[in-house]
Amino acid sequence: MFDTLLIANRGEIACRVIRSAHALGLRTVAVYSDADRNALHVQRADTALRIGEAPACDSYLHIGNVLDACRRARAGAVHPGYGFLSENADFARACREAGIVFVGPSPESIDALGHKSAAKQLAERIGVPCLPGYSGVAQDINTLLAEARRVGAPLMIKASAGGGGRGMRRCDDVDDEVSLRQLIESARAEAQASFGNGDLLLERLVESARHVEVQVFGDTHGHALHLGERDCSTQRRHQKILEEAPAPGVSPELRERLGAAAVKLVREVGYVGAGTVEFLLAPDGSFSFLEMNTRLQVEHPVTEAITGLDLVEWQLRIARGEPLPLRQADIRWQGHAIEARLCAEDAFAGFAPQSGRIAHWSVPAGEGVRVDHGLVAQPDIPPHYDSMIAKLIAFGADREQARARLMQALAGSTVLGLRTNRDYLLQALDATAFALPQLSTHWLGEASAGWSPRRPDARWAAIAGALLLHRRSRVHGPLACFSSTGPRETPLRLDAGGAVFDLRLRYGREGAWRVSCADAAFDIEVLHEDGGAAALLIDGQRCNATEQDQGAVGWLDADGISAAFADLSDAPSQREDADAHGLVTSRMHGALVRLQAAPGQRVRKGEFLLAIEAMKMEHRIEAPIDGIVVELGVAAGAQVAPGQLLLRIDADA
């Protein structure tokens, strides 16, 4: 038994664990890096301890620092959350040696199931269906090349020691040795950077397959059961963005077969705690074991929604030595739930991660909607960790009601100061393939190829201009809007999301403006404005908006469009398209990990130039034009920031 729990994680999952721990009467201890000293999980825990500098390797991934915090706080148990040390057998072993309860499986179970190659070998041995592939110990390039040719294309190259889409590459031609070698080396490098282990496995790729996973639990009394399945097929770059339970189209009979296979696997190793067994579900209804996550999953709330169970509470009770609260026959599923991962990333610019301060955020509460987050009022999003900032979970009597509720919640959500994937999520939820549903692990990549963000238009710019001058008139007084002959027409040049609008605004009465833009004109009345939240009438139609500005720059969310704006009234009118002139700048904070360009080198448009590692992912940057590299702004290994010059290309004459 233990009465004090240390949560070795951060953000929304740390807050989630604290909530269930407090409900059980446990004292909670948060840990934090220098980047998180003011984070919400630090505020919500009973006490908090610093464990290192901002980089994860110096804090959340530092086993010695976490164990030292356990000793200092006299914590009898540690919950690892997900990510970081949650599937680290060495950490689980170190906890046991220190007399600290690890809320999760034994290190032996993690060794057996947490490593993909070992888990696949175990699954094959006990008769759980697996895909053709290679999961052997030999990892030299010649062995991998030979095994890839034996397995055949299409082929998936995967990191053995981790998940989340990192260290994964698809190969469609195993006979092209140069390309295959590059894919293997690229996957190995990303796996090594992400998990500290560059081992790979190879699997035959099944086209149009779905990713379906089963939630399992085991206890110290020899009991094991499953809580049903989730569909996680809606992925981009092999990373999940929408998850749902139950999986559409899975019959009770198929659910029972999936669950039986998952439970068979965990019983084989005497598994204790929460885990997820992942399968690939083929169009013909056959399934194959992919891997096991020996921890709680990001998407666990959808299972909680349809079962009415608290999975973190189950974890903590099992860690205290209690038996599973229910038997398999007692598990009931009701309704449907869908989860969306709201991330600080530019989904329409290569999913470039965003970091910095969020000036304002809000997510509307609604029936059947749950929001898990770790955000304070104006949080700083550091560049060192995963880009997810919140999860929105919608529950309904059926799938369509859950989908509609989630879309409504997302559409009403606002994040100002950073780009997010909100609009991308809304397009995914509204896509025909998702609505029908016609799911596969590739549907999103194929459907989203033609998607684009909603760009600010004249109406949006008019709202931004009216709110900007309205706020200035409140500071300087309405007389500032008049000349000796009456209301003054104020010219305003706005950069709205990258487009320039020339506005003319005339003050009418308190809060009312006539805004002209090219051939369009809008009568805008600001009915209410407080703390950035505004209610307006636009040509008699009510509109809600949220705006944050700092003098001449700011962010506005209105008409379903969220973008930055800047007052360029005193700036030069000429704007250059940097890409068209061969200037390649960084879109993110990160480290330049690969550089394949040198001064004097001739490059073609679309040719790979360099890669930036940010938030544990490698982001490729390609040449925007044909030409010759004439300048390098940074060297390999350097840290870069948004807007920083990476290189310059002179266009071919």
- For residue 476, pLDDT beyond 70: no
From 449, 477, 503, the end of a domain falls on: 449
CATH code, domain with 16: 3.40.50.20
H-type alpha helices, 360-457:
399-411, 422-430, 432-435, 443-447
Shared domain check, 329 and 185: no
Question: What is the predicted pLDDT for the residue at 573?
Answer: 42
- Number of domains present in the structure of the chain: 5
Q: How many CB atoms lie within 10 A of CB 575?
A: 12
CA distance 232 to 303: 12
Shared domain check, 592 and 540: no
Beta bridge partner(s), residue 140: none
Q: pLDDT band at 30, cuts 50/70/90? A: very high
Residue 197 sits at the vertex; the CA angle it makes with 270 and 80, to the nearest 5 degrees, is: 50
Question: What is the predicted pLDDT for the residue at 317?
Answer: 98
Residue 562 token pair: 């969220």
504 in a structural domain: yes
CATH code, domain with 188: 3.30.1490.20
Shared domain check, 513 and 368: no
Shared domain check, 583 and 463: no
CA distance 534 to 544: 6
Shared domain check, 148 and 198: yes
- pTM, entire model: 0.86
Residue 110 token pair: 């993690």
253 in a structural domain: yes
Packing angle between helix 63-73 and helix 89-97, nearest 10 degrees? 30
266 in a structural domain: yes
Residues 6+ apart with CB under 8 A from 454: 423, 560, 561
532 in a structural domain: yes
Span 478-494, pLDDT tens digits: 655 665 566 778 899 99
Shared domain check, 394 and 262: yes
Shared domain check, 181 and 73: no
574 in a structural domain: no
pLDDT above 90 covers a percentage of the chain that reads 77
Q: pLDDT band at 354, cuts 50/70/90? A: very high
CA distance 542 to 559: 11
CATH code, domain with 359: 3.30.470.20
Question: What is the predicted pLDDT for the residue at 576?
Answer: 44
CA distance 251 to 222: 28
The strand order across the sheet containing 169-171 reads 133-134, 200-204, 155-159, 169-171
- H or E element, residue 96: helix 89-97
Q: Is the CB of residue 642 less than 8 Å from the CB of residue 612?
A: no
Shared domain check, 396 and 414: yes
From 103, 120, 143, the end of a domain falls on: 103
Span 54-106, pLDDT tens digits: 999 999 999 999 999 999 999 999 999 999 999 999 999 999 999 999 999 99
CATH code, domain with 548: 3.30.700.30
Q: Is the dihedral of CA 38, 42, 46, 50 positive or negative?
A: negative
pLDDT above 70 covers a percentage of the chain that reads 95
Question: What is the predicted pLDDT for the residue at 7?
Answer: 98
Q: pLDDT band at 616, cuts 50/70/90? A: low
- Name which of 294-303, 403-412, 622-631 the model is least confident about: 622-631
- For residue 382, pLDDT beyond 60: yes
Average pLDDT over residues 630-637: 90
From 62, 87, 103, the end of a domain falls on: 103
Q: Is the CB of residue 553 less than 8 Å from the CB of residue 564?
A: yes
Average pLDDT over residues 528-544: 92
Packing angle between helix 252-268 and helix 116-126, nearest 10 degrees? 110
- H or E element, residue 196: none
CA distance 220 to 321: 6
Shared domain check, 441 and 378: yes
Span 244-288, pLDDT tens digits: 999 999 999 999 999 999 999 999 999 999 999 999 999 999 999
33 in a structural domain: yes
Question: What is the predicted pLDDT for the residue at 574?
Answer: 36
Shared domain check, 188 and 99: no
CA distance 541 to 523: 10
Rg of the chain over CA atoms, in angstroms?
A: 27
Give the length of the chain: 653
User: ω before 382 within 30° of 0 (cis)?
Assistant: no
Bigger pLDDT: 149 vs 472: 149
Q: Domain residues for 63? A: 4-103
Span 431-466, pLDDT tens digits: 999 999 999 999 999 999 989 999 999 999 999 999
CA distance 583 to 572: 20
* CA dihedral of residues 150, 154, 159, 165 (deg, nearest 10): -170
- pLDDT, averaged across the chain: 92
572 in a structural domain: no
Count Cα atoms within 13 angstroms, Cβ side, for 441: 20
Shared domain check, 416 and 351: yes
Shared domain check, 410 and 303: yes
Question: What is the predicted pLDDT for the residue at 615?
Answer: 59
114 in a structural domain: no
CATH code, domain with 597: 2.40.50.100
